[in-house]
Amino acid sequence: MRSFENNDINEKVYFHKYGNGLEIILIPKKDFKQKTVMFGTKFGSINNRFVINDKRIDVPDGIAHFLEHKVFEQESKEDALMTLSSLGANPNAYTTSNHTVYYFDTIDNYEQCTKVLFDFVQSPYFTDENVKKEQGIIGQEIQMYDDDASFQVYINLLQNMYETHPIRIDTAGTIETISQINKELLYQCYNTFYNVSNMLVCVCGDIDVEETIKFIETLVPKTGSKDKVKEFFPVESKKIHNKSSIRYLDISTPLLAIGFKDNNVSSRSNEEKIIFDIATQIALDMLIGKSSKLYQKIYTTNLLSSSLDLSYIYEKDYGHIITECSTPNPEKFVAEFEKEMENFVVKEEDFQRIRKTLHGSYILEFNNVPRLARMFFADYIKGINSLDYMEAYKKVTIEDVKKVFDELIKQDNMAISIVKRKE
């Protein structure tokens, strides 16, 4: 077992790996009433091609999300979600680009809920009938998102930025791709990725670390698979695939998304990734945050019809900035954005103010058990210890922020997605 501590906020986190390969993150939060338990696998929407024991396997887009839905189905017909809810828990699941998670938040019946969670995740039941039924359900979900302007402006932006990387594909897949999914493929993916040697547990709350390690060990097999599974991705061009796109839907106000493709993620060390992440958050806030000159201009000239969402997302081998909003004039908004971006000057006083604000916000995350568990889980999947961010906020410099503008926030990396009203 390894432990990491930050004395500034009096937090300690533990990492343990069992003999079967299962890994666990333990985040003790003394005197907190709520507990969160997460049980997930390193299998997400981008893992549609992989190599197992030197053999390449291709599976339909959307299968990780499809599998997430089907894992809840039990041969006994028992509804795992209803069982957990009846015990006082708030259960759910989600699929991201690189992992799938089943979890619950609870105050009562923590051990009983954990047993239910581990039992249903490790008891798959797929039949021709229930797979066909799920194809209809997920097909309706896909059709619904086809008419969702917020989703379309987002997915079109990803497809503008990326040419071949599977991050450009909707997590749910398409009606065509999910029609290719059958119980045999589901079992193949389940047996490959839902093996404890490829899985991760996170427990956060008022827990005893040693007792929790022993308790979780009773819920999983003593041995894991020795199969060697490798990720396989096509070579992605450094260039933007498509500079801009416009889609027309039945909406009242146009939606705009501006993205910047980060081509250098895989070349950075973990510490460099964390520093770059913080520097990018600072850069975005300086450029178009609520206290920025650009924000004041677009707000006072009525170019902003909603809140402005700013995010930088990175994984092991890709990363990007996404800025989203609704605006009556997307073209004018983009013109103002580009003008400010080209002439932007990074100022020390703005840097220090924003750095301190973001650092404070990060510290507050440690007071929210569910968010803390999700943060540590997601970071660990990409090889990052979330606690390392605490020191990184002190280390980041104004030169790191300038590097973000030199390396990432520039025209060559920029793509635009617009959804306008259909006439």
Domain 2-231 and domain 244-421 have a common topology: yes
Cβ within 8 Å of residue 406, ≥6 positions away:
none
Confidence of residue 228 (pLDDT cuts 50, 70, 90): confident
Above 80 in pLDDT, residue 226? no
CA 183 – CA 129 distance, rounded (Å)? 9
Q: What percent of the chain has pLDDT over 90?
A: 91
Rounded CA separation 88/105 (Å) = 9
43-96 confidence digits (pLDDT tens): 999 999 998 888 899 999 999 999 999 999 888 888 889 999 999 999 999 999
**Alpha carbons 96 and 81: distance in angstroms, whole number:** 20
Q: What is the CA radius of gyration of the chain?
A: 22
CA distance 311 to 242: 21
DSSP string, 192-236: HHSSGGGEEEEEEES--HHHHHHHHHTTS-S------EEE--PPP
- Any idea which of 98-102, 141-145, 233-237 has the lowest mean pLDDT? 233-237
φ and ψ of 297, to 5 deg: -70, -50
Q: Do β-strands 199-205 and 35-41 pair in parallel, antiparallel, or remain unpaired?
A: antiparallel
Phi, psi for 164 (deg, rounded to 5):
-125, -20
Q: Is the pLDDT of residue 362 over 80?
A: yes
Integer Cα distance of 350 and 343 in angstroms: 16
Question: In the CATH scheme, what is the code of domain 244-421?
Answer: 3.30.830.10
With H, G, I as helix, E, B as strand and everything else as coil, classify residue 215.
helix
Indicate the DSSP class of residue 322. Answer: E
CATH class of 2-231: alpha beta
Predicted pLDDT at 211: 98
Locate the domains of the chain by residue range: 2-231, 244-421
Q: Where are the alpha helices (DSSP H) in 301-395?
A: 330-342, 348-364, 369-381, 388-395
What CA–CA distance (Å, rounded) separates 155 from 238? 19
Chain segment 237-263, per-residue pLDDT in tens:
999 999 999 999 999 999 999 999 999
Return the pLDDT at 328. Answer: 96
- pLDDT number for residue 294: 96
